[in-house]
Amino acid sequence: MPVETDTRIRDFGTRVRLYPQAPFLSGFGEAEVVWLSPAAGTVQAGPSDDRMYVVDPVEKADPYEYPYMPPYKGESFPPVEPGPDGHFDHYPADSREFVAVHVYGSLRRVLDIFESYVGDAIPWQFRETYEKLELIPLIGWENAQSGYGFMEFGHARDDAGSYQPYGLNFDIIGHELGHALLFSVMGLPLEGHWSAEFGAFHEANADIVSLLSVMHFDTVLDRLLHASHGNIYTLNEINRIAELSETRQIRIASNSRKMSEVTTEVHDLSRPMTGAIFDFIAYAYVEEIARRGLIGSDLREATLTAHVRMQDAEGIQANFDKAYNNRHFQFKAALMEARDIVGTRLTSAWKQMSPTDLTYSDVATMLIDVDRQISGDRYQEELREIFHWREIYEDPGPVKI
């Protein structure tokens, strides 16, 4: 979401508190205040708004499974009420109400972010049947699922044997909504034409939706930059930095898998695509910090040139240490810009691709084309190279000397 849009929402929006990362996964013990686009006072008890509502069953014995489908009609806890000012950020983190607000707030936040990229409302795929998405925040089930018109969340059991609600896991919520949004915009392939790479793109896309969304938390951006001193391009080479592995989205996306290194299993097959889109974020970021004069052309060149990076990783890091010193907020602005560059191109590609017999090569070609329409030649050469390196895209274009 463009920073100006996000700032504007703070003037009128509804406040919730969200964990960037499930609190039991360490590192992010504090929930962060987040503003949602519905104006304060317009979100009803539930929480409930024009797109989704929470219903919290007292005892939902079974998860939904066709023909058992929403709406939930059994006994439920009273709808969670807003505070007197219309916000929902006043519930203690260990309360049942907090989980309900967290599920609603996370979903609404990811929807806000992606509607801002699309530049319009993204209607639900199930709108013919249901007006709103039903959210079940906590049931006695060791799993979570999203389906036609609903999402419901159980709990995991941690190593110490205590139950941890999946509804507090922004990563899972973002991933599930990533699937739902892609189904909404792109639709389904014609019968019998659901390709393996369509399924894998769905997984990659869900992971990237979750990643781009978590990159809207100040705490996540701050940690990432502090830990790397702004040297994000070499993330998959510097995974020794412990703090980075705490953010699951970043750990998954900064992989170095090529097509020849993965199986046809859908999650495995998704990795080269997820990695390529992450590379695009990292690359756009390097171009942004160079364009803004935060690093010189020598450091830009060294960072982007593989053999130099291998030979002089420490020298590059030392130069980043120097460049980053006292410039955290400038680096952060560049990273937000890179995030939004990729978010707008990805969603623009959603709108133009056919799901039928989709191949990775179609996705790469569309992302490259969409990018050319938006930013001309600026990223073209590197973007081709990124997909070529992943063995997704055949034509690397003119070779860099």
Q: Where on the chain is the footprint of Zn ion (CB under 5 A)? A: 203, 206
Identity of the residue, 210 or 231, whose beta carbon is nearer to Zn ion in the bound complex = 210
- CB of residue 176 to Zn ion, shortest distance in Å: 7
Q: How many CB atoms lie within 10 A of CB 380?
A: 16
Helix, strand, coil content of the chain in percent (nearest 5): 50, 10, 40
Q: How far is the CB of 135 from Zn ion (least distance, A)?
A: 18
Nearer to Zn ion, 110 or 206 (CB): 206
Q: Is 216 helix (H, G, I), strand (E, B) or coil?
A: coil
The helix (run of H) or strand (run of E) holding residue 73 is: none
Of residues 177 and 225, the one with the C-beta less far from Zn ion: 177
Return all residues near 318 (Cβ < 8 A) that are at least 6 apart: none
Which of residues 176 and 279 has its CB atom nearest to Zn ion in the complex?
A: 176
Minimum CB separation of residue 281 from Zn ion in Å reads 20
Q: Is 196 exposed, middle or buried (0-12, 13-18, 19+ CB in 10 A)?
A: middle
CA distance 11 to 335: 24
The rounded distance, in Å, linking the Cα atoms of 113 and 273 is 21
- Which of 13/167 has CB closer to Zn ion? 167
Smallest distance from Zn ion to CB 151, Å: 12
Q: Which residues contact 20 (CB under 8 A, 6 or more apart)?
A: 28, 32, 170, 214, 217, 219, 220, 247
Closer to Zn ion by Cβ: residue 205 or 234: 205
Residue 353 C-beta: closest distance to Zn ion, Å? 18
Shortest CB 83 distance to Zn ion, Å? 35
Q: If we measure between CA atoms, which residue out of 36, 34, 208, 182 comes closest to residue 118?
A: 182
